[in-house]
Amino acid sequence: MTATPPPPRRESSKRREMVENEIYETAARLFADNGYAGTNLGDIADAVGLNRGSLYYYVKRKDDLLAILVRAATGDATAAIREITSRTDLNAAEKLHAIARGSVTRQALHPHRLRMVLKSESDLPEELAEAHAQGRRAVLDELTSVLDEGMRAGLFRQGEPDVAALALIGMWNWISWWFDPDGNRSVESVAEQLADMAVAAVTRSETGLAINGSSTEAVVALIKNDLDLLLRTLDD
């Protein structure tokens, strides 16, 4: 009797990738909800629908799983943003729009990863904590450079680019807490709207708000105004 040939390697790899992604997303959710210390591999296996022995085929230790998730949380963002900032065919406003749209999309599709990192920061080994900090600094530096580029080119209002960058990062990071993937608005539409808001916040010169003070303060106030408007829209 002829033995049944094994499945093609491409199908096997695709299956493994699907299971690994499910494990990562489930682990991120459990770490975010219960904390790293309050979650064990058995909890993750049960939530995914695997026995513990099968889970070991994909991940050997909880520490390894945390490292993968933390590095992905900042590493993916850094790589994506650097790809945009290095483009010579986009001006600063177009770069900012693309960065904001991509950042919002990542946070909306993987909301538990940021929440997991914030909740698990005290449990991070020193080396992993430093890698996470470096990733955060890299994201801030890349965005600050785009804002500085736009200010120098006269596209953006003058101010402190690093403070404006922090305000914008805070705006799209908040997605991890309020966006409902099962709601009546798509990730794409929300990402596009928030990207428009990000650019408008640093470029427009008139607003209905009576704002006094530095340009950076104006940027923060405009972002808050836009977010209030967006939340009222989502509540309708």
66-117: pLDDT as tens digits: 888 888 888 888 999 999 999 999 999 999 999 999 999 998 988 888 888 8
Residue 199 and residue 165: Cα distance in Å, rounded?
11
**Between these two residues, 146 and 37, which has the higher pLDDT value?**
146
In the chain, the domains with their CATH numbers are 10-60 (1.10.10.60), 69-235 (1.10.357.10)
Residue 222 has pLDDT above 80, yes or no: no
What tokens does 112 get? 């538990």
Tens-place pLDDT, residues 21-37? 899 999 999 998 888 88
Residue 209 and residue 221: Cα distance in Å, rounded?
8
Distances (CA, A) of 199 to 40, 65, 126, 185, 189: 42, 36, 36, 21, 16
Tens-place pLDDT, residues 174-219? 888 888 888 888 999 999 999 999 999 998 564 433 333 445 555 5
pLDDT of residue 126: 86
Q: Which of 118-122, 140-144, 157-161, 199-203 has the highest mean pLDDT?
A: 140-144
Residue 223 and residue 170: Cα distance in Å, rounded?
10
**Angle ∠(134,135,138) on CA atoms, nearest 5:** 85
